[in-house]
Structure formats: C-alpha cells, structure tokens
Structure 1
Amino acid sequence: MSTKQTTPRRKRKGETTKSKLTAIAMDLFQRKGFVAVGLNELCSAGDLPKGSIYYHFPKGKNDIAIAVVEQAKQEIGDAIQQAGAAADSKESFVAAVVQGFAHILVQSDFEKGCPVSTLALELSAQDADIASAISQCFDHWQTLVTDRLIRFGEQPDTAEQLAQISFCALEGALILARTQKSLHPLERVQQHLIQHL
C-alpha cells in the first residue's frame, strides 16, 4: 500500500525537478547562450544538487539543450495555435505571432528572443541530436503556420512558402531587435509580411 502511494509521488517530484531544470536552462540559455552557462550555474539557479542534473540528463548540457528545444517547441507551438484560433484573418494571425515574440523581447528587456535560435547558432553544427531536435522544432512551427494559412484560404504550396519565409524574416528580425534593443525590426517584418499576404 505504501509503495503504491510513494511511487507516484516520487515520479511527480522527479518530473517537477526535470521541468524546473529545463525552465531554468531555457531562461539562461536565451539570456547568455549555451556555452556561457555552466552546470554549477544551473544548479545554483535552481537550488538543486549537481546529481539532479545527471539523474535527469545523463549526457549533461546536451541533454538539457534537447529538453529546452522540446519545451520551446511545445510552448511556442501552443501559442501559434492559440493565435490562429483567435485570428479572423491571415493578417491578424501573422500579426499575433510576431507580437507574441515581441512580448518576449519587451518582458525580458531585450535579453530573450527565440529560445531555439541561440542554440541553433551555437550547436547545430556540433551535435547531430541537437540539430535534429532543432530542425524538428522549426518544422513543427512552420507546419502549424502553414495549416492555419491554408484554413484562411491559401493554396498549400503557397502557404508552405509563406510560412518558411515568415520564420526566416522573423528570426532575423529577433536578432536585430535584441541587438538594437528596439521593436522596429519586428514591426517592419510584420508590415512586410502582411503586405505580401
């Protein structure tokens, strides 16, 4: 009886610890980059023993990076779907997606942009597993945008092209916006994308 009660509690605690580490890592990787963040800093920020990291992430930071990408894939994917469900046109949908990223920038005082792009720039050429996770993440986001544009009346081929172009422009604008500490690059990208829609 006691064993049956203890196992779920341990599982819940383990899942909570893993989620906590992933959230901390996502924040620090966005603000500082992957290379600049050490395991000791992750443990200190989460007030956790170092053993917790290796228990949940046997390959250390590389496993953590993949978990961060998976979490970002889910969170931003959910945000894209919510924006699509609330939008009444292609234009309002694209505007909502761009403004979602703008909100992240403003709330973090331009320290955080896309949680995946920093990892992509630092790691995609070094680790095949991380590169695969990043590629699948971007593909997932683009598929969600493509599907929504099709629902708004775009032809499938056109919708797919527009989704990819939108993310190319958006990711570049996020880098400029962080560097310049200004939303102007995102505002221009939003205007440009809406004109082309």
Structure 2
Amino acid sequence: MLASAELFRRNGYTGTGLKQIVTAAGAPFGSLYHFFPGGKEQLGAEVIRESGLLYGELFDIFITPAADPVSGIEDAFAGAAVTLKETDYADACPIATVALEVASTSEPLRKATAEVFNAWIDRGTKAFQRFGLSEKDARKLTIAVVTSLEGAFVLSRSLRDVEPVAVAGEAAVATARQLMNAPEAK
C-alpha cells in the first residue's frame, strides 16, 4: 500500500492507474484483486485510511512536545515548507488530494477521507487541550490549522512557492494566540 500512497500523493487518485500501482509495488496484477476485490476504489479507501493515520502523527511530532501551541504550529508549518521545497512540491497531503478529486463521485472514498479528517480533528483537539484550551476552542484551533495547511498545500503546489504555507502558518498562529488569550482559555 505504500507504493499506492506515494502514487496517489504525487498523481492523485484519478491520475494513478492500476498498472502503475502493481508495477510500483512489484506485484502481479492479479494480486490487486485478490487482496482488494473492490478494485482501485477499495485500495484507495484503504490507502487513505492508512496514510491518514501516518499524517495524523504529525500532531504528536509537532504539537504534543511543544512548549506552547504557537511554537508547535510554527514548527509544523516550517516543516511543511521544507518538505515541499525538498520534494519539488510533489509531496503534500494525499488525503486532501484525493478528497478534492472524488468527494462528489465516490462515496467510499469520501467516507474514508472524512474518517481521516475527523481522526485528525480529534487528535489535534486533544493535543491543544493540553495547553489549557477548552475542548471547543481546541477543536476550533485544530480545524483552523488543518484547513490552513491543506489550503496552503494546494496553493503552494500550484504556485511552486512556499509563501502560502508561511502565510497560512501566520494565520494559524494568530488564531492560536487569540484563543489562548480568550477568557474561556484562562
């Protein structure tokens, strides 16, 4: 599934063919339908769920160990900018890539992306609550971070520039500061 995740991240779901997947995996063509009788759509849903778990760990890498939410958010967005540059803008979030393509045309893939996004929101909410935010504000901040980062990936890949990531990071930091200074957070 790792080969499929890489292809979906770089080419999108519709831009990735079954022959590419089995070739990249070094597997016989028939094995795809043996393990995924639902074909590419079933494989896609599983790849989304598995990749989503890995990307969700970014909250544990950047936010959980941070001294405060601002520094964690700054580090996460800086890391995203570095990854984009180092991969020539090819490696962004595969979940958003697939969600944009198929949310209106494939209910199994839409559900898989929704599960992943909900898992990220839950994980981020817990991470930000550690800094004294209420559950409501921690959820709001998580959604702001995820949507800012996902939107920044789209713009950065298209513009081939990390400026959108920097601006989105600044906006997410501003939201964190606002919520941390709100009366409910104190």
Is this a same-fold pair by TM over 0.5?
A: yes
Q: Distance in 2 between matches of 1:166 and 1:78?
A: 14
> For residues 41-60 of structure 1, what are the structure 2 equivalents within 5 Å?
41-60=20-39
SS at match of 1:113: coil
Structure 1: gaps spanning 5 or more residues: 1-21
The CA deviation string for residues 44-82 of structure 1, in whole angstroms up to 9 with x for no partner, is 222221011111111111111111111122111222212
Partner of 2:81: 102
SS at match of 2:57: helix
> For residues 1-12 of structure 1, what are the structure 2 equivalents within 5 Å?
none
Residues 88 and 119 from structure 1, CA distance in 2 versus in 1: closer, same or farther, beyond 3 angstroms? same
- Say which is worse superposed, 79-88 or 55-64, in terms of deviation: 79-88
Residues 85 and 168 from structure 1, CA distance in 2 versus in 1: closer, same or farther, beyond 3 angstroms? closer
Partner of 1:4: none
SS at match of 1:116: helix
- Deviation of 1:37 after TM superposition, in Å, equals 1.3
The CA deviation string for residues 110-162 of structure 1, in whole angstroms up to 9 with x for no partner, is 01211101110111212222111110101111111111111101122111112
In our comparison, the structure showing a higher alpha carbon Rg is 1
SS at match of 1:36: coil
Which contiguous aligned blocks of 4+ residues in structure 1 show a shift greater than 4 angstroms?
none
1:129 aligned onto 2:108: yes
Cα RMSD (Å) of the superposition?
A: 1.5
Q: Distance in 2 between matches of 1:95 and 1:42?
A: 35
Q: In structure 2, what residue type is equivalent to 1:171?
A: E
Structure 2: gaps spanning 5 or more residues: 177-186
> For residues 140-155 of structure 1, what are the structure 2 equivalents within 5 Å?
140-155=119-134
Asked if 2 retains the 8 angstrom alpha-carbon contact of 1:101 and 1:114, the reply is no
> For residues 65-144 of structure 1, what are the structure 2 equivalents within 5 Å?
65-144=44-123
User: How many aligned positions are there?
Assistant: 176
Give the fraction of aligned pairs with identical amino acids, expressed as a percent: 26
TM-score (norm 1): 0.83
Q: Distance in 1 between matches of 2:151 and 2:89?
A: 14
Q: In structure 2, what residue type is equivalent to 1:70?
A: R
Asked if 2 retains the 8 angstrom alpha-carbon contact of 1:98 and 1:190, the reply is yes
Asked if 1 retains the 8 angstrom alpha-carbon contact of 2:49 and 2:115, the reply is no
Residues 23 and 188 from structure 1, CA distance in 2 versus in 1: closer, same or farther, beyond 3 angstroms? same
Partner of 1:5: none
